[in-house]
Amino acid sequence: MNDQALLRYSRQIMLDPIEIEGQERLLASHALVIGAGGLGSPVALYLAAAGVGRLTLADDDAVELSNLQRQVAHGQADIGRLKAESARDAALALNPDCRITAVTERLDGEALALAVQAADLVLDCTDRFASRYAINAACQAEGRPLVSGAAIRFGGQLAVFDPRDPESPCYACLYPPSKPGEPVDDEELRCAENGVVAPLVGLIGSFQALEAVKLLSGAGSAHQGLSTFDGLTGEWRRFRVPRDPACPVCGQRCGQD
């Protein structure tokens, strides 16, 4: 790090769990952020500001007026632009030294597997169950930690799934997928159909970014279990989530530990 970098990250470097070594790990790391909307906005901005050296932002959607109530990486002038490109520009405005790639196609299949493989850590900021299951399966296959967040109406949740940890479950342990032939109810999860209070996505997205910084820098320990937040009461709750030996995604891994 040069003098400018030392000054930029000085407030993190002075923290004992991070120091220069942790900051250098952040600068050398690569995070994949899937979804550049309500959750992905604070995730992208805070990871760039914190000094994560490389970000890949993936989203195939375009900015709409109704997004601006909560998706803080985008502004009025960005309406009609692709979200991945708008979020990239907002993050670069905070930290031009961050290397940011905008992926404007939906990541799926081999493209998703390659993107996960190229990253050190993945943050799921999507709002569809189908996407969440696919991202989880790719992270399990490639051995990449996954920081998963969700926010709807006045409620939010966060969990970290790390296949490197023999005790860590995966997303499919928490939410078993539908049986073959059964529909996946994505409408239950989407803000577009159910609404969401604006600051909630900032809170959960910031929590995701914090967990990513910890994992990438080596500070502290990763979040365990599932945390949920009720925005109407201000109450946090935490639940233990054990691994499911019969899980169709990580169950095989259970037998190998």
Segments in the chain below pLDDT 70: 179-193, 252-257
Q: Which residues pair with 161 in a beta bridge?
A: 146
pTM above 0.85, yes or no: yes
Instruction: Say which CATH architecture domain 3-239 belongs to.
Output: 3-Layer(aba) Sandwich (3.40)
pLDDT of residue 194: 77
pLDDT of residue 192: 58
pLDDT of residue 181: 46
pLDDT of residue 191: 54
pLDDT of residue 251: 83
Nearest to 97 by CA among 37, 168, 47: 47
* Contact present, 173 and 250 (Cβ < 8 Å): yes
CA pair distance 9, 22, nearest whole angstrom: 11
pLDDT of residue 177: 83
Q: Which residue in this structure is represented by tokens 């994949």?
A: 32
pLDDT of residue 183: 46
* Contact present, 103 and 122 (Cβ < 8 Å): no
Domain spans in the chain, listed from the N-terminal domain onward: 3-239
The tens digit of pLDDT for each residue in 197-243 reads 999 999 999 999 999 999 999 999 999 999 999 999 999 999 999 99
Name the residues annotated as catalytic: 191
